[in-house]
Structure 1
Amino acid sequence: MPIYFYGADEVPYGRFSNFSAHGVELDGRFWPTSEHCFQAQKFTGTRHADLIRKAPTPLRAAQLGRDTSKPLRRDWERVKDDVMRRVVDAEFRTHEDIRAVLLSTGTDRIVEDTGADHYWGRGRTGTGKNMLGRILMSTRDRLAAEAGPVGR
């Protein structure tokens, strides 16, 4: 049975949302949410990245990260999946509460239930790539393997 998530306030799986209020430390910097961190990586080394880090909400960080007037880093399309993997890994290693929820999903399929995003979620038709869900599942598998039989 698939596990669907979207809104950060949905219990318990909303914690899988990048808008969830779980800070992330990556590359020596603290980010209020994984959304802040991910969006800023599009503009690494620029003032815009720092503006995103300081955004008051994850929604504002997302808006700033999608600002088409700012040039993305040249390699963004090539590295965006790896960036999301690193961000998600850091988030779930840092926070025991959400790690426990992720591990509790066993082998169930995890799906970001958004019709608006065909790449990161299921998309309008339900046939999207669901890359965030896939990254969550691979993170879960790594964490479960590291925990061994006792942690499952």
Structure 2
Amino acid sequence: MRVVLQRVTHAAVTMEETGERRKIGPGLVVLLGVGQGDVEGDVDYLVPKILSLRIFSDEYGKMNLSLEDTQGQMLIVSQFTLFADTRKGKRPSFTDAAPPTIAIPLYERFVSQVQARGVTTQTGEFGADMRVEISNDGPVTLIIDSPPKPAIEK
């Protein structure tokens, strides 16, 4: 799994088809990509990692507090394009992204685990055209991958 994580003052996602808008206050935007070979263990690794990352400022201006410490909110948006391969030609290849049959349950597991930890959460809609508004705070942007899988011998 691959996550682009942004610390925000506020953010929103609007579903193009319905016009429905979901928004958060201070917290994190998580752009979540599910790749080929990702499993539930990737979610189990990423959720506590993201929620405990000390990327929010304390009273001295040092990045010393986590989302849990600040009781921040989270906007989670599925983003298969995080697995784009642009090395050949001019059109990105998305063959490294997991198909919806794998990606949707893992995305939903991620959302459920964040909510179970008491974080106020909003989401986009898997596979929908969306407009995402992000007010990046800092700016602080991190890219986090789940641990690599062991090679399978053939």
Q: Do they superpose with TM above 0.5? A: no
**TM-score (norm: length of structure 1):** 0.28
- Greater helix proportion: 1
Larger Rg: 2
Q: TM-score, normalised by structure 2?
A: 0.28
Which of the pair is proportionally richer in strand? 2
Q: Work out which structure has the larger RCO, using CA pairs closer than 8 Å and 6 or more positions apart in sequence.
A: 2
